[in-house]
């Protein structure tokens, strides 16, 4: 199979409602569709959703990156995905969403060539996934009305509440939504880097009994020490989002013991090549010691609550690895990742 044509289509979709988060207010979606045509008649479709605030990508830069990548993909065999993606690797850091668009289109072609839904090709078994609906930053009464309207649809298994501009109001909004949703309904929050570390801890401590599953990126992405400081003290598990783009970021977060959970998005990561995180843990560390895992053996998907032990982290250094544990690879516990978190 050969790629014989590539179409890049800008897409603009007005939002039905604006979405206000700590760093921006969104009224419209702007992205790109990438279509790969082949000599077999099959076509593969991918999408780039550039995000300036999180990934530093502009519409113009993404368009230019897609146009520059296209000649490298044309005439290639799309089933040799690893080789094609290796050609696009230089764009990973500055234009992750453009890389993701080609990655998705190549996977789409792989599924169509195999005559299988991509879910089956990847070994998936679920027929559906739990979806979360996000409530943006808005006044208290409006927040509650929005939550009630979402819950009334019966279509969502989880609520996500955007925070990050007003700590006191945020606590009141979360409490009001919890009251509206009832005690058992899954609820998590996302401050999108809006707090400083003391503000984050104040909010999360005030919400200790509010039944929050986890809190996404409460402090600025570049401040790993603040994330670690909050995660160590917070009664709510802390998830890294904007701080996590690459496998190297994941390693840095693990080594800093800075969070309990990862939020991984195709548009941030760019493409899923076979340079997996557990493999890279076999690399030599900067001190020259060969390791089979990060310093300190656990990355906590669970949230231990024992005294004298940082919350959200695994066993302390010196306690030794626990190899062979179910669900672990070389002592690295898999982070808990929920679909649909943004």
Catalytic positions, written as ranges: 162, 265
Q: Which stretch binds Mg ion (CB under 5 A): 25-33, 66-74, 98-106, 213-221?
A: 213-221
Nearer to Mg ion, 108 or 190 (CB): 190
DSSP-assigned states of every residue in 24-35: EEEEEEEEEEEE
Q: Does 241 bind Mg ion (CB under 5 A)?
A: yes
Q: Which is nearer to Mg ion, 81 or 245 (CB)?
A: 245
Give the Cα separation of 112 and 125 in Å (integer): 18
Nearest to Mg ion by Cβ — which residue? 241
Q: How far is the CB of 261 from Mg ion (least distance, A)?
A: 11
The answer to whether the CB of 192 falls within 8 A of the CB of 162 is yes
Q: How far is the CB of 126 from Mg ion (least distance, A)?
A: 23
Beta bridge partners of 36: 6, 44
**Are residues 260 and 239 in contact, defined by beta-carbon separation less than 8 angstroms?**
yes
- The three-state secondary structure class of 321 is coil
Could you say whether residue 57 binds Mg ion (CB under 5 A)? no
Of 88, 78, 112, residue with least CA distance to 273:
88
108 binds Mg ion (CB under 5 A): no
Q: What's the min distance (Å) between Cβ of 202 and Mg ion? A: 20
Question: Please, is 216 exposed, middle or buried when counting C-beta atoms within 10 Å of its C-beta (0-12, 13-18, 19+)?
Answer: buried
Interacting span for Mg ion (CB under 5 A) from 6-14, 52-60, 115-123, 210-218:
210-218
Catalogue the E-assigned strands of 195-309. Answer: 215-216, 238-240, 261-262
Q: Count residues contacting Mg ion (CB under 5 A)?
A: 3
Q: Based on CB atoms, which residue is closest to Mg ion, 216 or 249?
A: 216
Q: How far is the CB of 268 from Mg ion (least distance, A)?
A: 10
- Measured over the CA atoms of residue 139, residue 22, residue 241 and residue 122, the dihedral's sign is positive
The whole-angstrom distance between residue 209's C-alpha and the CA centroid of its chain comes to: 26
Q: Which of 78, 216, 236, 300 binds Mg ion (CB under 5 A)?
A: 216
Exposure class string for 117-139: b at 16+ Cβ within 10 A, else e: eeeeeeeeeeeeeeebbbbbbbe
Q: Does 158 bind Mg ion (CB under 5 A)?
A: no
190 is a contact residue toward Mg ion (CB under 5 A)? yes
- Stretch binding Mg ion (CB under 5 A), from 57-65, 165-173, 187-195, 279-287: 187-195
Q: Among the candidate windows 24-32, 83-91, 142-150, 233-241, which touches Mg ion by CB under 5 A?
A: 233-241
Minimum distance between the CB of residue 221 and Mg ion, rounded to whole angstroms? 10
Residue ranges that bind Mg ion, judged by CB under 5 A: 190, 216, 241
């Amino acid at each position: 199979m050969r790629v014989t044509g590539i179409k890049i289509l800008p897409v603009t979709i007005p939002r039905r409602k604006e979405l206000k988060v700590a760093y921006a207010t969104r009224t419209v979606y702007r992205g790109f569709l990438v279509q790969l045509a082949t000599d077999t008649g099959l076509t593969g479709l991918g999408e780039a959703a550039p995000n300036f605030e999180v990934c530093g990508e502009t519409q113009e830069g993404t368009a230019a990156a897609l146009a520059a990548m296209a000649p490298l993909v044309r005439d290639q065999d799309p089933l040799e995905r690893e080789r094609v993606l290796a050609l696009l690797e230089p764009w990973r850091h500055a234009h992750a969403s453009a890389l993701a668009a080609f990655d998705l289109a190549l996977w789409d072609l792989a599924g169509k060539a195999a005559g299988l839904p991509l879910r089956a090709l990847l070994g998936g078994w679920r027929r559906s996934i739990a979806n979360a609906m996000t409530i943006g930053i808005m006044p208290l009464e409006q927040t509650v009305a929005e939550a009630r309207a979402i819950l009334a649809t019966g279509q969502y298994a989880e609520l996500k509440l955007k925070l990050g501009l007003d700590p006191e109001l945020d606590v009141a909004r979360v409490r009001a939504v919890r009251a509206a949703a009832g005690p058992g309904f899954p609820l998590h929050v996302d401050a999108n880097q809006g707090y400083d570390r003391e503000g984050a801890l104040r909010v999360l401590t005030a919400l200790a009994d509010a039944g929050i599953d986890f809190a996404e990126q409460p402090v600025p992405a570049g401040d790993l020490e603040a994330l670690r400081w909050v995660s160590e003290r917070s009664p709510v598990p802390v998830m890294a989002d904007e701080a996590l783009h690459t496998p190297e970021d994941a390693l840095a977060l693990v080594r800093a013991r800075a969070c309990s959970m990862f939020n991984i998005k195709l548009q941030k990561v760019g493409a899923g090549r076979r340079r997996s995180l557990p493999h890279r843990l076999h690399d030599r560390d900067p001190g020259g010691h060969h390791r089979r895992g990060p310093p300190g053996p656990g990355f906590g998907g669970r949230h231990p609550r024992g005294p004298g032990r940082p919350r959200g982290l695994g066993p302390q250094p010196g306690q030794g690895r626990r190899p062979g544990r179910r669900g672990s690879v070389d002592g690295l516990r898999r982070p808990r990742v929920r679909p649909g978190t943004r």
